């Protein structure tokens, strides 16, 4: 059954139809929330919140966009709200601290390579988290989640040209921040 049929049945009161929609989009909502928050517990809570909001708003869904696009829009907005609240009291767990701040154990070439890749990954995530929220969202949707420009445009309710220019600025700023972190920590990482 496609999304439209399931939505229509759910709007008519079918719990099973809504359950099928939840099952179809559960992992996608979690992955999007996790990509934006980098916090498993928060991502799990946000995914649940998205489905609660969708369930409550479902009677008003008019098929002006695909159900998935509508659901992603709810997820992006919920994640932005979460990030806005969290930024007021910013805590960085030890494992998420800037790369290069932890002591190193004995090493082998394989361990060194794995450690270096992990350091690069943390550096990029750390730099991504330091970007303005609208840049974090657009980079996550395009470069991490892989959505096409048109879909991002509909999700964020901005023009495709705005998606393109915002993505360009976000990537440029991310590269700059990674380069600055790299210089501070003694490395050469390209994004």
Pair 40, 108 in one domain: no
Q: For residue 92, what pLDDT is reported? A: 47
Q: Answer yes or no: is 146 within a domain.
A: yes
Pair 103, 71 in one domain: no
Higher pLDDT pick, 76 / 189: 76
Domain boundary pick from 30, 62, 88: 88
Domain count, the chain: 2
Pair 9, 77 in one domain: yes
Q: For residue 13, what pLDDT is reported? A: 93
| 3-state SS, one letter per residue, for the chain | CCHHHHHHHHHCCCHHHHHHHHHHHHHHHHHHHHHHHCCHHHHHHHHHHHHHHHHHHHHHCCCCCCHHHHHHHHHHHHHHHHHHHHHHCCCCCHHHCCCCCCCCCCCCHHHHHHHHHHHHHHHHHHHHHCCCHHHHHHHHHHHHCCCCHHHHHHHHCCCHHHHHHHHHHHHHHHHHHHHHHHHHHCCCCCC
Q: Answer yes or no: is 148 within a domain.
A: yes
Q: For residue 191, what pLDDT is reported? A: 56
Pair 27, 55 in one domain: yes
Pair 56, 75 in one domain: yes
Question: pLDDT (tens digit, 9 = 90+) per residue, 105-142?
Answer: 455 677 767 777 777 777 888 888 889 989 999 999 99
Q: Answer yes or no: is 76 within a domain.
A: yes
Assign residue 20 the CATH number of its domain. 1.10.1740.10
Question: pLDDT (tens digit, 9 = 90+) per residue, 162-190?
Answer: 999 999 999 999 999 988 887 777 655 55
Domain boundary pick from 88, 122, 140: 88
Domain boundary pick from 37, 67, 88: 88
Domain ranges, residue 12: 3-88
Q: Which of 9, 14, 11 is nearest to 54 (CA)?
A: 11
Pair 102, 181 in one domain: yes
Tokens coding 190: 């390209």
Mean pLDDT of the chain: 84
């Amino acid at each position: 059954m496609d999304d439209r049929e399931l939505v229509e049945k759910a709007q008519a009161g079918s719990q099973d139809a809504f359950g099928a929609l939840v099952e179809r989009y559960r992992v996608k909502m979690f992955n999007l929330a996790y990509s934006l928050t980098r916090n498993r517990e928060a991502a799990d809570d946000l995914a649940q919140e998205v489905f609660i909001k969708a369930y409550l708003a479902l009677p008003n869904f008019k098929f002006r966009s695909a159900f998935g696009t509508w659901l992603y829009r709810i997820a992006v907005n919920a994640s932005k709200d979460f990030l806005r609240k969290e930024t007021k009291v910013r805590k960085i767990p030890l494992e998420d601290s800037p790369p290069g701040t932890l002591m190193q154990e004995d090493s082998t070439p394989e361990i060194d390579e794995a450690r270096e890749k992990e350091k690069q990954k943390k550096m990029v995530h750390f730099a991504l988290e330091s970007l303005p929220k609208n840049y974090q969202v657009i980079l996550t949707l395009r470069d991490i989640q892989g959505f096409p420009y048109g879909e991002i445009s509909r999700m964020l309710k901005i023009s495709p040209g705005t998606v393109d220019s915002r993505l360009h600025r976000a990537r440029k700023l991310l590269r700059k921040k990674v380069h600055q972190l790299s210089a501070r920590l003694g490395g050469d990482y390209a994004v």
